[in-house]
Structure 1
Amino acid sequence: MTNPQIENNFKYHSPKEGQPAKYEVIRNKAKELAMLIDEECPDSREKVAAQTNLEQAVMWANAGIARN
Structure 2
Amino acid sequence: MNQQIENNFKYHAPKEGQPAKYEAIREKAKELAYLIDVKCPNSREKSLAMTKLEETVMWANAAIARNE
Q: Using structure 2 for the length normalisation, give the TM-score.
A: 0.98
Mapped pair 1:27 → 2:33 = no
Q: Secondary structure at the match of 2:14?
A: coil
Aligned pair count reads 67
Q: Shift of residue 41 of structure 1?
A: 0.1
Gaps of 5+ in 1: none
Distance 2:2 2:38 in 1: 45
**Where do 4+ consecutive residues of structure 1 move more than 4 Å?**
none
Q: Using structure 1 for the length normalisation, give the TM-score.
A: 0.98
Q: Shift of residue 5 of structure 1?
A: 0.2
Q: Shift of residue 4 of structure 1?
A: 0.2
CA distances 1:34-66 after superposition (whole Å, capped 9, x unpaired): 000000000000000000000000000000000
How much is the aligned-residue C-alpha RMSD, in angstroms?
Answer: 0.2
Question: How high is the sequence identity, in percent, across the aligned residues?
Answer: 76
